[in-house]
Amino acid sequence: MKYFEKYGKVIAMSAAALGMTAALTIESSLAYFTTYVSAGGSEVVSLGAQTTIHEEVSLMTKHITIRNTSQINDCFVRVKVFCPDGFTVEFTDVSGGDNWYEGEDGYWYYRPILPASTEDNASLTTVLDAKINVPEGFDRDDFNVVVIQECTPVVYDEDGNATADWSRVYSEYEDEQEDSGRLGEEADR
Amino acid sequence: MKKERRASEMNRENRGNQGCRRKGANGRKVTYLLFALAGVMLLGSTIGSTRAALTYYSENYTAQITVSQIGVSLLENGQVVSSRDYDKDEWKTESNRGKDSASGVLLQNMLPEDKNGKKEKLALNKKYEEKLSVRNSGSIDEYVRVRIYKYWTKKNESGQDVKVTTLSPALIDLNLINEGQWVKNPADVAETGDGSEKECMELYYKGILTSGSETAPFADTIRIDGEVASEVTVETKGDTITTVYKYDGVEFHVDVEVDAVQTHNAQDAIRSAWGVDAAGLGIL
């Protein structure tokens, strides 16, 4: 009896603690019916179209073609011809169609998508002829006519039509890995 | 005097023997009576069972009792991508990756094939069909939620996929629809008030998804924003100027998880399973 009088409170408290712990266990063991499923997918985004320009000159005419050397990405292309003051340039779409058209900004745009090249077949535009007219009285031995070409990725508008976004001004980006210090500018080239 | 006392004692003994003999006879009577009663009862019980055997009984009927079997399936463009159902005391998982695979594959038919069986190239800003919905493939009603993860990865030099954290998940434009039935987690909405988007979004289906039925789709198209091609560097080599896209070769990912929980004691069940206040979300 003395033993119980002495330790009775401790035993009661221990029993209560044990009971509460057991009660907690009961609570957590209450289970609900649940289930789950999952799925995932991915796709690579390839952006880097690359184009090269090919020129042949004959009879004061540049025969211009552009090749898409990328084997992955399609693109749109355009060219612009710079010549000295007083010179004029006449453009002709050699294919006779309307593949090439002149924009308001002086660029000549190739209308179709220039598809990526395959291993067997290089992807080329039709020929655009640029005939240079030398002004009368021009007495120098040589002069420069510069042709630049640019490409931009194929993007789609809200209606799902393929389009070229030539107006995009790219944000500045410094390549950290190359540490070249070059900054991207306007860059639909 | 002694003889008289002796005589009286003998008389007393004789009387006692007679009483004992009478008591023994009574005891045997009770025993026989009880034995007879037991016999009658035993007989009675036999008769009873005979009666039961003779009663008319109907034909045998088999009653099938369906226990609670919860199940859920994820559908992409009408096809089951992945399902997990409790059936006959075991979990039955199936996906388009194969049987017993709990995780299915999305986007594997996103890019259409040309005549030669070659897949079309992914075009920026183009909308591709990606209709996602949920079906209750179990035998009990349930509440459903989906979690959508959108993120970018790129292969590092050792060929391992590493996350690209500088590209926004918002550039992966999974067009969410039926927003009246699919409730966005208010916490996600509050956090993305500036127009940005979290990597993980939660959508809760409003109401009970009954057994065998399918939800309205929560997404219908997917589009990669052309903005991903906006960051470039320009390299000049001789007469050639080349633009190098910062994010050329990145891979976009869309992962979807679907969770289902019982409708019985829904408030507590949802709080326990998902950790949210279902009544507060307005989905009960």
Domain-located, residue B65: no
Residue of B nearest to A31 (CA): B269
Domain-located, residue B63: no
The structural domain count of chain B equals: 2
Confidence (pLDDT) at A2:
63
Of residues A180 and B14, the one with the higher pLDDT is B14
> Is A35 close to B70, i.e. CB distance below 8 A?
yes
Cβ-contact A38, A77 below 8 angstroms: no
Check whether A185 has a pLDDT greater than 80. no
Domain-located, residue B62: no
Residue of B nearest to A47 (CA): B248
Domain-located, residue B252: yes
Domain-located, residue A180: no
**Per-residue confidence at A175, pLDDT binned at 50, 70, 90?**
very low
Which of A34, A36, A37, A171 should one mutate to test binding to chain B, selecting the residue with the greatest count of B CBs within 10 A?
Answer: A37
Domain-located, residue B17: yes
Q: Which portions of chain B are predicted below pLDDT 50? A: 1
Domain-located, residue A19: no
pTM exceeding the 0.80 threshold for the entire prediction: no
Domain-located, residue B253: yes
- Do B21 and B150 lie in a common domain? no
Confidence (pLDDT) at A63:
94
The structural domain count of chain A equals: 1
- Do B142 and B114 lie in a common domain? yes
> Is A170 close to B68, i.e. CB distance below 8 A?
no
Interface membership of A26 toward B (CB under 8 Å): no
Confidence (pLDDT) at A180:
34
H or E stretch at B268:
helix B266-274
Write out the residue range of the structural domain in which residue B147 sits.
71-281
pLDDT tens digits for A119-138?
Answer: 767 788 999 999 999 888 88
Domain-located, residue A35: no
Of residues A93 and B233, the one with the higher pLDDT is A93
Mean pLDDT of A19-24: 70
Range 155-184 of A in CB contact (< 8 A) with B? 155-157, 160, 162, 165, 168, 170-171, 173-175, 178, 180, 182-184
Q: Do the interacting molecules here have an ipTM over 0.95?
A: no
- Do B44 and B81 lie in a common domain? no
- Residue B267 CA to residue B101 CA, distance in Å, equals 31
Domain-located, residue A43: no
Domain-located, residue B51: yes
Domain-located, residue B137: yes
Confidence (pLDDT) at B99:
79
Q: Tell me the pLDDT of chain A averaged across its residues.
A: 79
Confidence (pLDDT) at A178:
39
Range 45-74 of A in CB contact (< 8 A) with B? 45-48, 50, 52, 72-74
**Per-residue confidence at A30, pLDDT binned at 50, 70, 90?**
low
- Do B148 and B179 lie in a common domain? yes
- Do B105 and B238 lie in a common domain? yes
Among the listed residues B108, B151, B133, B279, the one whose alpha carbon sits nearest the alpha carbon of residue B217: B133
- Do B142 and B35 lie in a common domain? no
Check whether A84 has a pLDDT greater than 70. yes
- Do B29 and B165 lie in a common domain? no
Q: Could you tell me which residues come within 8 angstroms of residue B106 by beta carbon, excluding any fewer than 6 positions away?
A: A39, A40, A41, B76, B81, B130, B254, B255, B256
